[in-house]
Amino acid sequence: MAFDTIFLNARFDGGARHHIAVADGRIAAITSVDERPAANETIDLGNVLVVPGFVEGHIHLDTSFYGDAWRPHKPCTNGFDVHERVAFQAQNMAVSAPMDVRARNQLDLCIGHGTTQMRSHVMVDGSVGLKSLETILRVREEHRGLIDIQLVAFPQSGILMSPGTPQLLDEAIGLGADLVGGLDPASFDRDIEKHLDVVFGVAGKHGVDVDIHLHDMGTLGAFEIEQIAARTRALGMEGRVAVSHAYGLGDISMDQLKKIADTLARSGVAIMTNAPGARPFPPILALRNAGVTVFSGNDNIRDSWWPYGDGDMLRRATTLGYRSGFNIDEELRIAFDVVTVSGARALRLEGYGLCVGAKADFVTLNAEHIPEAVVGVPQGRSVYKEGKLVACDGKIVGKRG
Ligand SMILES: O=c1cc[nH]c(=O)[nH]1
């Protein structure tokens, strides 16, 4: 039987050359270059480095202005203040291009750079109801076959502070959101227990995973993480809960961190960091050494939170490595792992990786090996989703639905 496609001369990290045979969108065989399985289509990769598709683990498809008019950043009046940032966001959104246009722009950017799997937070709260989610669900549908997208129902205006939000989060899952989110249970909603009752209540009712935004610093943030971990264990949700940002983990003593890292590892709570600007952020190596899954995302791209971000998870790996002081090859490989394999574990992706049986989602990179790719961020990539070319040199070539 002939395979659908044979990709000849793929160079894996480490230098070995292989042919990759694809059938029904999955890797059906990986052979040595001495064998050449029969296939209906042949693509010669010419000995280029091949890596699995990038995992964008945290982005906001609804609130970016990428491709729209430039919106100058407004700083908070008194340090970082989530309430103020949310207010700036509402002002900007009122005058921006339609959400579906902006979301498509952002998706093109991400797919063009090699992201094949994504988790996006989408606002669901009393301020916007289910409108943003309805739009992003439509955009997700158009992109089937180009990228797999998980959507988190995200209460950006709080749960207890924003009337109607508990019910909306429940409805959002019914509508097609895959996970339920939360936001600073202590500093924003002022009641950790009640906030988590709603989040884990919706998760339990629908059997969905949880991904909570947590900006709170120091011991307050650490305490909230302990509460989230305790709930996770009590409900048997190990491996199905993530805390995004968790700035507090970068702001506590090493002794405190060690204790909380053990708690996170025991409860299988993953940590998402984008290694943001000048803020403290979770120490990647210490957490990983304790057994915690650390994953990453671009988070905000040209929106009301900050003007940075380019949708490139390889450049995000550079940022993670740079801010973490990673220099040796082993550490640069860790930065790469955070945006690939660890992301896949946090998102519980089925069929991820360059192995037989996995989805044929991969990216070609003009680099000798992964450490060089992380520091060099080579362009001129080809992106394959389920064995089909979807982007080349940053441009989408696959067809939207
Ligand atoms: O959009 C964003 C980004 C970071 N934190 C939030 O609460 N929202």
ipTM: 0.95
Distance of alpha carbon 249 from alpha carbon 74, whole angstroms: 26
- What gap in Å lies between CA 316 and CA 374, rounded to an integer? 9
Same fold, 3-52+352-396 and 57-346: no
Task: Using most ligand atoms within 8 A of CB, pick from 300, 304, 308 the residue to mutate for ligand 1.
Answer: 300
CA-atom Rg of the chain in angstroms: 21
Contact 366, 49 (CB under 8 A): yes
Report whether residue 165 contacts ligand 1, using a CB cutoff of 6 Å.
no
Is residue 216 lining ligand 1, measured as CB closer than 6 Å? no
Site to probe by mutation for ligand 1, drawn from 64, 81, 121 as the one with most ligand atoms within 8 Å of Cβ, is: 121
Does ligand 1 have an atom closer than 6 angstroms to the CB of 60? yes
Sequence spans of domains, the chain: 3-52+352-396, 57-346
What is the number of other CB atoms lying within 10 angstroms of the CB of residue 344?
24
Considering the chain, what percentage of its residues have pLDDT values greater than 70?
A: 100
Residue 399 has pLDDT above 90, yes or no: no
Confidence of residue 398 (pLDDT cuts 50, 70, 90): confident
Q: With bands split at pLDDT 50, 70 and 90, how would you rate the model's confidence at 203? A: very high
66-123 pLDDT, tens digit per residue, is 999 999 999 999 888 999 999 999 999 999 999 999 999 999 999 999 999 999 999 9
Question: At residue 287, does pLDDT exceed 90?
Answer: yes
Give pLDDT, residue 78: 85
Phi and psi dihedrals of 320, rounded to 5? -60, -45
Atom of ligand 1 nearest to the CA of 63: 1
State in Å: Cα 20 to ligand 1 middle: 40
CA of 75 to the centre of ligand 1 (A): 14
Predicted local distance difference test score (pLDDT) of residue 84: 94
Q: Residue range 132-156: average pLDDT?
A: 98
- Which segment of 51-65, 76-90, 115-129, 305-319 scores lowest on mean pLDDT? 76-90
The CA 305 to ligand 1 mean position distance, Å, reads 7
Q: Which class is 57-346 in CATH?
A: alpha beta
Q: What is the mean pLDDT of the chain?
A: 97
pLDDT given for residue 97 in this prediction: 96
Taking the domain 3-52+352-396, which CATH number applies? 2.30.40.10
Q: Report the distance separating Cα 114 and Cα 121, nearest Å.
A: 20
Give pLDDT tens digits for 334-352.
Answer: 999 999 999 999 999 999 9
C-alpha of residue 296 to centroid of ligand 1, in Å = 14
Measured in Å, residue 299 CA sits from the centre of ligand 1 at 8
* Cα–Cα distance measured from residue 225 to residue 184, given in angstroms and rounded to the nearest whole number: 10
Is the minimum distance from the CB of 302 to ligand 1 under 6 angstroms? no
Distance 141 CA to ligand 1 centre (A): 24
Helix, strand or coil, per DSSP, at residue 4: strand
CA of 214 to the centre of ligand 1 (A): 9
Cα(87)–Cα(93) distance, rounded to whole angstroms? 10
Measured CA to CA, the distance from residue 50 to residue 63 in angstroms comes to 32
In this predicted model, what pLDDT tens digit does every residue of 208-245 receive, in sequence order?
Answer: 999 999 999 999 999 999 999 999 999 999 999 999 99
Cα separation, 127 vs 310, whole angstroms: 28
Which residue's CA is the closest to the ligand 1 atom numbered 5? 213
Kindly indicate the confidence band of residue 257, based on its pLDDT and cuts at 50, 70 and 90. Answer: very high
Residues 288-301: what's their mean pLDDT?
Answer: 98
Mean pLDDT to the nearest integer, 321-325:
98
Distance 154 CA to ligand 1 centre (A): 10
- Own/partner long-range contacts of 349-354 (Cβ < 8 Å, ≥24 apart): 349/55, 349/117, 349/148, 351/26, 352/52, 352/55, 352/117, 353/52, 354/12, 354/20, 354/27, 354/30, 354/50, 354/51, 354/52
pTM of the model: 0.98
Nearest to 267 by CA among 239, 288, 295: 239
pLDDT of residue 112: 98
Q: Is 299 in the pocket of ligand 1 (CB under 6 A)?
A: yes
Residue 400's pLDDT is what? 75
Indicate whether residue 305 lines ligand 1 (CB < 6 A).
yes
DSSP for 139-174 reads HHHHTTTT-EEEEEEE-TT-SSSSTTHHHHHHHHHH
Q: Would you say residue 401 has pLDDT above 80?
A: no
